[in-house]
Amino acid sequence: MKVDLMIIKAKELVTVSGASRPRTGSEMDEINVIPDGAIAIVEDRIIDLGPTAEIVQKYPHPHKLINAENKVVMPGFVDPHTHPVFKETRENEFEMRLKGKSYVEISTSGGGIRSSIQGVRETSADRLFQLAVKRIKKMILNGTTTLEAKSGYGLSTESEIKMLKIIRRLNEELPIDIVATFLGAHEFPVEYKDDKNGYINLLINEMLPEIKKLNLAEYCDIFTEEHVFTIEQSRRILKRAKELGYKIRMHADEIQPIGGASLAGEIRAVSADHLGATSDKGITALKENGIIGTLLPATIFSLGLNTYARARDMITAGVPIALATDFNPGSSNCDSMQFINTLACLKMRMTPAEAITASTINAAYSLDRGDEVGSLEIGKKADIIVLDMPSYQYLSYHIGSSSVETVIKNGKIIKKNKPSENYPEGLPK
Ligand code: NIG
Ligand code: FE
């Protein structure tokens, strides 16, 4: 068989192979590394993998060859929680927080999510698209090959549809897969601040059905939190979304333990995200209903807090854990899944292998894409990254620069960095 692309001699070929379902408990620590590994690709699929000597013998004349000597080869990162479409960044709020204001104080005094609304409403779709392209290209450089992207900075029917059409265009025009989530319940827009029921009715009677009809979003998300959508309001909105055929994800228990994880269980969400304040009862609800806990440590880090999610207790309880950047202009301006791996290890005591499982296969299941991406197995999509590093532990150990050298999506090389050869002219090699 003629192989289109072959990667050989990987010091460690990290397959993350295993059961065809989200990995739990001790499975999260098993990433199945093949030393001196090779992988053979035809079109967009992995057709074989194993020790280099074996693969080279089976397929002697690949069309294209990547020598990964002294490097790590692993599945591309899946980032299952981002907000990449917005006009301006909000580093002014970062400084306000450093001077003592809290995220909630800034939000309730007119900043926060509401301050991003105007930018999205006033800016042309083309301009917002270009800004998002620039941000997502950085994520690709950092090794992300599948991404979830949310609306939620429009908060009117028209501007939420505008955002979701931008996300659809990003998926069509960028080389990675982008999964769309409707987040109309991200905040109450100012014009409804004294008529919360009015906004909920708009969500239920107009936005959700209209967006479904246009087929613009696979998931419906909500910010369930004391200062935004209460448990009762969230239940109403999510029940309607479910009836209409959306899959559900939630911002749950980010700041206050108001029972977001339990509601995720009741509603059978696919994923409950943040979970910094989740109680034992919440953890049990996640476990019993097979819900993936998507943890976002860069948000806690960036907010200067210490309320990291209890990853160890969740893993012990059997909750499958995924990791994401939560890339957004307010609480987490992080575009690097490598940095997320570092935070997961240092701040939530996950092992380097657990962090890899959480940012590949479990993240893929959190987007209902676990059968296609997230691990290197025969028949799956060839979404692969080559990292200039000696071992998989180095991924979370190294801080501050990207080690990603080559990014392959659907069997095609979409990015090639050569960090080790990239010295500016004139510097000694
Ligand atoms: O996930 N929690 C709600 N949404 C974002 C914050 C968005 C913003 O502040 O603009 C989050 O942290
Ligand atoms: Fe978020």
Which residue, judged by its Cα, is nearest atom 8 of ligand 1? 330
The closest ligand to the CA of 332 turns out to be 1
User: Distance, CA 334 to ligand 2 centroid (Å)?
Assistant: 12
CATH number of 78-366: 3.20.20.140
User: Distance, CA 227 to ligand 1 centroid (Å)?
Assistant: 13
Q: Is residue 418's pLDDT more than 90?
A: no
Q: Which residues contact 332 (CB under 8 A, 6 or more apart)?
A: 296, 298, 299, 301, 302, 325, 326
| Res 422: pLDDT | 52
Q: Is residue 427's pLDDT more than 80?
A: no
Which residue, judged by its Cα, is nearest atom 3 of ligand 1? 223
For 113-141, how does the pLDDT look when each residue is reduced to its tens digit (9 = 90+)? 989 999 999 999 999 999 999 999 999 99
Which residue, judged by its Cα, is nearest atom 1 of ligand 1? 326
Mean pLDDT of the chain: 96
User: Distance, CA 130 to ligand 1 centroid (Å)?
Assistant: 21
| Res 1: pLDDT | 83
From 79, 81, 82, 83, mutation site for ligand 1 pocket: most ligand atoms within 8 A of C-beta: 83
| Residue 32 CB neighbours (<10 A) | 14
Q: Which ligand 1 atom sits closest to the C-alpha of 299? A: 12
The closest ligand to the CA of 305 turns out to be 1
For 331-347, how does the pLDDT look when each residue is reduced to its tens digit (9 = 90+)? 999 999 999 999 999 99
| Res 194: pLDDT | 95
User: Distance, CA 297 to ligand 2 centroid (Å)?
Assistant: 11
For 66-117, how does the pLDDT look when each residue is reduced to its tens digit (9 = 90+)? 999 999 999 999 999 999 999 999 999 999 999 999 989 998 888 899 899 9
Sign of CA dihedral 22, 378, 383, 51: positive
User: Distance, CA 190 to ligand 1 centroid (Å)?
Assistant: 17
Q: Which ligand 1 atom sits closest to the C-alpha of 112? A: 9
Q: In this structure, are residues 23 and 11 in contact, taking their beta carbons and an 8 Å threshold?
A: no
Q: What is the dihedral of CA 329, 332, 336, 342, to 10 degrees?
A: 170
The closest ligand to the CA of 90 turns out to be 1
C-alpha 205/C-alpha 208 separation (Å) is 7
From 103, 106, 326, mutation site for ligand 1 pocket: most ligand atoms within 8 A of C-beta: 326
User: Distance, CA 286 to ligand 2 centroid (Å)?
Assistant: 19
Per-residue HEC secondary structure of the chain comes to CCCCEEEEEEEEEECCCCCCCCCCHHHHHCCCEEEEEEEEEECCEEEEEEEHHHHHHHCCCCCEEEECCCCEEEECEEECCECCCCCCCCHHHHHHHHCCCCHHHHHHCCCCHHHHHHHHHHCCHHHHHHHHHHHHHHHHHCCEEEEEEECCCCCCHHHHHHHHHHHHHHHHHCCCEEEEEEEEECCCCHHHCCCHHHHHHHHHHHHHHHHHHCCCCCEEEEEECCCCECHHHHHHHHHHHHHCCCEEEEEECCCCCCCHHHHHHHHCCCEEEECCCCCHHHHHHHHHCCCEEEECHHHHHHCCCCCCCCHHHHHHHCCCEEECCCECCCCCCCCCHHHHHHHHHHHHCCCHHHHHHHHCHHHHHHCCCCCCCCCCCCCCECCEEEECCCCCCHHHHCCCCCCEEEEEECCEEEEECCHHHCCCCCCCC
Which residue, judged by its Cα, is nearest atom 12 of ligand 1? 331
Among 28-42, 92-106, 230-244, 412-426, which is the least confidently predicted range? 412-426
Report the pLDDT averaged over residues 393-404: 97
Of 275, 297, 298, 300, give the one whose Cα is nearest residue 286: 275
From 102, 107, 114, 251, mutation site for ligand 1 pocket: most ligand atoms within 8 A of C-beta: 251
| Res 417: pLDDT | 80
Q: Is residue 185's pLDDT more than 60?
A: yes
Each domain of the chain, given as residue ranges in start order, spans: 5-76+376-422, 78-366
C-alpha 18/C-alpha 4 separation (Å) is 26
Q: Is residue 424's pLDDT more than 80?
A: no
The closest ligand to the CA of 331 turns out to be 1
User: Distance, CA 276 to ligand 2 centroid (Å)?
Assistant: 13
Q: Is residue 383's pLDDT more than 70?
A: yes
| Res 109: pLDDT | 86
User: Distance, CA 113 to ligand 1 centroid (Å)?
Assistant: 7
| Res 426: pLDDT | 54
Q: Which ligand 1 atom sits closest to the C-alpha of 81? A: 1
Q: Is residue 419's pLDDT more than 70?
A: no
| Residue 104 CB neighbours (<10 A) | 15
Is the overall model pTM greater than 0.95, yes or no? yes
From 81, 328, 332, 340, mutation site for ligand 1 pocket: most ligand atoms within 8 A of C-beta: 328
Pocket of ligand 1 (CB under 6 A): 83, 112-113, 116, 223, 251, 254, 299, 326, 328-332
Does 226 or 378 have the greater pLDDT score? 378
Report the pLDDT averaged over residues 43-68: 97
| Res 425: pLDDT | 58
Question: 5-76+376-422: what fold?
Answer: Urease, subunit C; domain 1 (2.30.40)
Q: Is residue 301's pLDDT more than 80?
A: yes
For residue 37, name the pLDDT band (cuts at 50, 70, 90): very high
Q: Is residue 371's pLDDT more than 70?
A: yes
User: Distance, CA 331 to ligand 1 centroid (Å)?
Assistant: 6
251 burial (CB, 10 Å; 0-12 / 13-18 / 19+) is: buried
C-alpha 64/C-alpha 269 separation (Å) is 42
The closest ligand to the CA of 94 turns out to be 1
| Residue 256 CB neighbours (<10 A) | 14
| Res 108: pLDDT | 86
Which residue, judged by its Cα, is nearest atom 9 of ligand 1? 330
Q: In this structure, are residues 239 and 231 in contact, taking their beta carbons and an 8 Å threshold?
A: no
Of 242, 276, 278, 243, give the one whose Cα is nearest residue 260: 278
Q: Which ligand 1 atom sits closest to the C-alpha of 86? A: 10
